[in-house]
Structure formats: structure tokens, C-alpha cells
Structure 1
Amino acid sequence: MTAPTPARWVVIDIEGTVTPTSQVHRVLYDYARPRLGPWIDAHPDDPQVAAAVEAVRAEAGLDAEADTAAIVAVLHGWMDADRKATPLKTLQGLIWQQGYADRELRTDLFADVVGALLQFREQGAGLAVFSSGSVAAQIASFSHTADGDLRHLFTHHFDTVNAGPKREADSYRAMTEVLATAPDEVLFASDVPAELDAAAEAGWRTVGLARPGEPFADADFGAHRTVKTFDDISIEVPA
């Protein structure tokens, strides 16, 4: 039996790690896609929306007079390419937040997740999330799950805005500062090897989730310990 991993913090990815990829690519993407244009038009004075629209224009090289249809065409193209563009994530997050509040959306987690997270908390570990989805989307997602409102489980939420790109070591170094602990006391769980590589470069401990049927099920996780479910992860909180 593998010895428990020393960890004062457990940081989790979302897509493919605690929720099926289909939850994002089919349910959430399909919900947001037809609502992007109407949302932009309905919230012209919202600072987050205005900033996101300007960022889309800048990143896509559109002129300042580009209308909503042109903006949406870019956003749809990014969605089709599964590009983790910050302005797209911002707009999607706002739409999803409303969808969860209206109870039109619900998050389905893998069956092994909640029990493991509760166990980590009972042992005294802190829990945090690091996802390319916006902090607003993360909080909304965990507020309406098939297992109830799980927001109370997490102390910190990180995204590509307040931490940085998921495949760059500096992002993990920035989060280490916020967590106020030694990097080797943080365990990161993700299904993406490149993210685990970046976390390890920053000194974090890592575990890869190779869930059957998910996109990275057969990926090469290299030296990272790899499991199929959270049931196979055990930790020990340093004294």
C-alpha cells in the first residue's frame, strides 16, 4: 500500500478531475453558447462584461466598432477550439453563475470525490480549487451540486486571472504565497500531465487522475503518481 502523501493543502482541478469533461463541454458550453450575445447586449454597463468585450477585440484584432455578432463569432471559435481565453471564461462564468442561481444548471461530481474531500478536511487539510474557469464559475458550480452546496469545503479559489496559466510554474509559486505554506506541503490533483509538471517544478506534490473514459485516461503521466479515483489518494497532514 502506498504511504500517505504529506499535505497541508489539497488543491484540485475541476474538469476531468472531479467532474466529467462532458459536464463542461456538453452541459455548460451548450448552455453558454446561445446566451453570449444576449448577455453582452443586456449588460453594456457591467464593468466585467465591458472589459471582457474589449479584451476579445484586442486579442482577436477586431476594430473598436466591432459589433456583438463579431465578438460572439470570436467567442464561439474559441469555444470550438477549447481555448482557455480569459475574456471567454469571464463571460461564461457570469452566464453560468446566473444559470446555477436559476437552478437551470447542476454540477455532477464523480462519486468518489465528496467523501475524499470530507476526509481531507477531517484530517485538518485545507482545500482549494485551481481551474481555468473563473472564480465566479467555480463558486457557482460548487454551490449547486448533486451532493448539495459544497462551497464551505474550500478556503481558496484560483483561476488564470488571480494565479496565472495552469501550465506555468510561476502560477503555482503565486498560489504557494497565498496558501502561506511550504510548496512541498501542497498536493495538486489534476488529469492534465502538463499542469502537474508545472506544479512539480514549483515544488508541489502531485497526483494524476487517469479516469477511464476521460480525455487523459491513457496519457503519459511520467513520474507523477497516477490513480483512477480519489479513493486511491491518502494524505497525512504534517504536525
Structure 2
Amino acid sequence: MTETPPSLAPLTPEAIEALFTRADGQFLFARWGRPIVPVVFGVTDETVGVLKGAIEALCVLTSHKMAETDPELGANMMVFFVRDWSELPETPNLDRLIPELGPLTERLEQAGANQYRIFRFDSDGAIKACFTFIRMDEHLADVPAETLALNQMVQAMVLWSDTAFQDASPLAMVGDRAALRPDIADLMRASYDPVLPAMAQDSSHALRLFARTGKLQ
């Protein structure tokens, strides 16, 4: 019998607003506006399968689509695993995709970061590409592959605030495995409601999301 995550109270409008309000006070929401085409570098085929499985599950959750290729970029969701940030500038052609790669690498090294995401947007403000960089330090090396994959893909599916999950993970433990929190799952489904815009900069968008999560309870 499959366990389900414990039920949680639905997120309040204020909590939803906070999840999309950046540290500088700016509210910014965005979701993908095109099918996702993932590619993963630096891990075994088995781990690639786990990551792609997490993306597929979230696309099913949100009714979003995946594709074999992106007509503009080829692949538009790229995940890079490294042991040290100094490996990034050595990756062939990565500087073409990330012109600021050199200064970015220095900042990540100085901050001791173990993960970083860069989003690109189309003319409507919807996400058109996401580059995820993961440095497998001692902390992440102890995280099960399924948990790491789900956590990273949740954060790549929607443009959350840069402070969104500092105090609480989007995942919850169910027995000995991690699963997406029900309240976050409801919010992600609401985020991909086709009636809503793919990008919003007004905090009133949190109320529209809240109204749709309520329908899912």
C-alpha cells in the first residue's frame, strides 16, 4: 500500500505571495511557456533516468508537456553536476549559453554554494530555459538521488522567490522517502492553470493562485 504525504492546511494568500516575493521585495511569478526538453550532464545513466522521471512526474502533475527537442535551443532544461565549481568553465561551449560564466563561477566558489539556477524568459515573460548547476558537496552526496532529483526539478518548474524554501523544504518525508508536499503540489497545479498568465509581477496574482488551490482541496 502506497503512503501519501500527511495533509497540510492550504497555503494562505500571504504565504503564496511570499513564495514569489524576492529578497528585494519584488513579486515575480513565471512558469514554463513551452514544452520542456531536459538534458543532464555529469552523472550516470541511472541518475539521468531518476531526474527525467522527476520532471515527467511534475509535468503530469501540472499538465505541462515535454518534447524531444526545442526548435530554438535544442534542449531547454539543462542540469549540470560537478564536483567543483572550477569544472564549469572547462565545459565545452557552456560559456556560449552562459556569457557571465567566469564571474558566476567565482561568486559560487566564494559563497561556498552547492547549487544555482539561471532562468531565461521569452517575450511574454514565460520561462523558456533553465540551467541548473549542482556541486556535489558532502551535504548533497548524502541525499538520496530521488530526493535530490525531485527537489531540484520542483525549483526548476516555477520561478520561485530566491528565499522561497530557505526555512521549509517543498518536500516532506513519507516513511523513508521524500514526496512533494500536498500544499506545494496544489500550488504548482494552480500555477499552470491555462486561464492564468504565464508571468505576473503584481502581488494580486497570489490571490488568483490561492483561489485555484482552494478548488483543489
TM-score normalised to structure 2 length: 0.27
Higher RCO (CA 8 Å, separation ≥ 6 residues): 2
Point out the structure with max Rg over C-alpha: 1
Task: Looking at secondary structure, tell me which structure has more strand per residue.
Answer: 2
Q: Name the one with the larger helix percent.
A: 1
Q: TM-score, normalised by structure 1?
A: 0.25
